[in-house]
Structures are given as C-alpha cells and as structure tokens.
Amino acid sequence: MTEKQSPFPVPLTIVTGFLGAGKTTLLNYILHADHGLRIAVLVNDFGAINIDSALIVDVEGETVSLSNGCICCTIRDDLLMETVRLLKRSEPPEYIIVETSGVSDPMAVAMTFLMPDLQPYVTVDSILTVVDSEQLFTLDDDYMQVAMGQIDVADIVILNKVDRLAPEKLAEVKDKIAAMIPDVRLLETSYGRAPLEMVIGVGKYAPEKLVARATQDIHVHEAGEQADHDHEAHDHSLVFSTWSWTSDEPLVIHAVREMVDQLPATIFRCKGVLNLTDFPERRAVLQVVGRRAGLHLGAAWGDIHPTSQIVVIAAQGGLDTDDLRARFEACSVSRTEQDQAAQIVGVNGMGTA
C-alpha cells in the first residue's frame, strides 16, 4: 500500500499593494484560472471580489465554494483563526492566497504565519506587491512611504496597468523604483494578468510540469527564440522567456547556494530538482520566487537515475543563457574541485618578497 502524502505544509502567497493597485483584478484572474488546485483565498472585503455567479456552487457563512476548486473567505477579525479553520477542513486547501488591505504592512502579515505552532502547517511561499504604475509616483509623501514599504519587502513586484503608460514613462517609473530598491524584481502586467507560475507553485517542483503549465497560461519563448514583436507591442504582459538545464553530474550544495544568491534581477522564477553530492540518496528541491529562495531535501531517487533539472522564467529578453549555463555548471563537483585545486596551487606557488 502506498503511503498517503501529507497535505502539509500548505504553501501561501501574500498579495499586497496600495489602494487601487489592482489586487482585486489579480485575484479574479487567479480564481477564474485553470490551475487545477484547491486554493483558499482570504480577502479583507469579500464584497470587493467580483466572482461570476456561474463559479459559485455553495455558500456557507463567510465561505464561498467555487466550481474550479477554489474557496473564498472574508477576514474580519482574526487571520490566524480563519487560517486554522481552513486547514481543519476535510479537504484542506492545496494553496492559500492572502490579500492584505491597501495600507497594511505585508511583513506583519507574514509574521503571523511564522509562529512556531503554525509553521508545520503553512509556509510562506512569496510576497507579491501589486503597483499602479500610472499613479505610484503621484501619491502624497505618507502614502508613498506606505507603498514603497510594501514594495521593499516583496519577492516580486507586479507593475500593473503598464498599458496606460508610454514606453519612456514606463522606463522612468522602473528606473525610479530600482534606484530606491536595488535588485527589485519587476513583473509588468496589464489587468492583473500575472502568470500563475509567478503567483502559485502549480509546477509542484517538477520542471516538466512547469513548462507544460507555462505554455498553457502565458506566451513563453524559449531563450533565443524570436518573439512575435507585433504581439509584444499590444500585449507585453504575457510574453516571457524560459530556459531549462539538465545535468547528470552531481552538484555541490554550497556552490548552489552562492549561485542562487547571485541570480540576475531579471529572473522571476527558478525551480527544479537537484542531484547533490552532499545528499546522494535524495532529490534536493530548489524553489526561487523573486528574491526568496529555498532548498530542501525531497523524496529518495529510488530507481530513478539522479539528474538535475532546472527551469528558469524571466522577463522577455532577460536571460543570458551562456551566463546561466556557466553559473550552473560551475556548481558541479568536478568544477568546484578544479577551483579548489587551482586555489591551492596559487597559494603554494606564492613567493615571499
């Protein structure tokens, strides 16, 4: 008999952003998407969410069950209490999305889920901040401080409503944000249509599933492939670049960690399984969302030949494939051993003045 896999911990995404940025539009897009997951969406004001009546199959108290497997709940009093109630359902959610209020501190919300008693059941996957690209730099000083604070803690910043700005104005907004918050991951969208791969972990850590889902939901171009520039001109919110890498050679964990910490800011998503020389019997699962990265041990390889498989998604034109390949190959055990040998030779060969 196959052992039943525990549904916990449930990954959780926090969606934040100043008033009018487009959080509700983004949530509507997620709720209507064909993600195939039981997603629980906790919102501050359910009345603000416009859900087609065709999606609603049951209403119980402040919980609305939807035909695509999602459920929606209001947050009126206690976020922690509502989350625990969701996790106690006979079929707990496979993913949770929390929408914060427009003037809240998302880090304070994230800290709620870092409580020791809750950590075995929920893990914060990412913090996404939605920004109104047209109005951001028209906010008063106090409001601007709130908005920039929300941007500062984000793993990925969804720069929404880019269709309303001329290219030069959009470039100016991006430059201003980058100057205030270096290494920020800026994802351009219109009408909140962010790729699901950037919002929820629908790939289940399997690179081949991620690629399959990406081609369904967004226009993904393999790095080096010529994009349809006419399409880009009128719908650049749906065009991204993807690159994949596989290797049979074991990788060294400390080299992988250093490499991940230095990935270019144009990369939004990086995920896959790794064959680590430090843990030869088990797969290592790599998950990178914006500025947040995680590496943990997964299932045993068993009869499967140990192979590292990685998929990277970035802004269109934001992938230097030669550079990425060099970064990953530098993590292999043979390369790290060569580097160590070269360092030893360099030290031993040093003369005295």
pLDDT, mean of residues 197-222: 59
pLDDT, mean of residues 97-104: 87
pLDDT, mean of residues 243-269: 93
**136 confidence band (pLDDT: 50, 70, 90):** very high
Rounded (5°) CA angle 124-127-128:
145
For residue 6, the model assigns a pLDDT of: 73
For residue 232, the model assigns a pLDDT of: 41
For residue 47, the model assigns a pLDDT of: 65
Least confident of 66-70, 105-109, 179-183: 66-70
Q: 40-49, 147-156, 209-218, 221-230: which has the highest mean pLDDT?
A: 147-156
For residue 318, the model assigns a pLDDT of: 82
Fold held by 207-340? Hypothetical Protein Yjia; Chain: A;domain 2 (3.30.1220)
With helix as H, strand as E and coil as C, how does the chain read? CCCCCCCCCEEEEEEEECCCCCHHHHHHHHHHCCCCCCEEEEECCHHHCCCCHHHEEEEECCEEEECCCCEEEECCCCHHHHHHHHHCCCCCCCEEEEECCCCCCHHHHHHHCCCCCCCCCEEEEEEEEEEECCCHHHCCHHHHHHHHHHHHCCCEEEEECHHHCCHHHHHHHHHHHHHHCCCCCEEECCCCCCCHHHHCCCCCCCHHHHHHHHHHHCEEEECCCCCCHHHHHHCHHHEEEEEEEEECCCECHHHHHHHHHCCCCCEEEEEEEECECCCCCEEEEEEEECCEEEEEEEEECCCCCCCEEEEEEEECCCCCHHHHHHHHHCCEHHHHHHHHHHHHHHHHCCCCC
Mean of all residue pLDDT scores within the chain: 81
Asked whether the predicted pLDDT for residue 18 surpasses 60, the reply is: yes
Report whether the peptide linkage leading into residue 182 is cis, meaning its omega lies within 30 degrees of zero. Answer: no
For residue 217, the model assigns a pLDDT of: 46
For residue 230, the model assigns a pLDDT of: 45
For residue 103, the model assigns a pLDDT of: 84
Domain boundaries, the chain: 10-199, 207-340
**209 confidence band (pLDDT: 50, 70, 90):** low
Q: Is the pTM of this model over 0.85?
A: no
- The pLDDT tens digits for 285-310 are 998 888 888 888 988 999 999 999 99
Q: 114-128, 175-189, 231-245: which has the highest mean pLDDT?
A: 175-189
**229 confidence band (pLDDT: 50, 70, 90):** very low
Fold held by 10-199? Rossmann fold (3.40.50)
pLDDT, mean of residues 47-67: 73
Asked whether the predicted pLDDT for residue 57 surpasses 90, the reply is: no
- Structure-block tokens of residue 165: 């700005």
- The pLDDT tens digits for 151-195 are 999 999 999 999 999 999 999 999 999 999 988 899 999 998 888
For residue 254, the model assigns a pLDDT of: 94
pLDDT greater at residue 182 or residue 212: 182
For residue 352, the model assigns a pLDDT of: 43
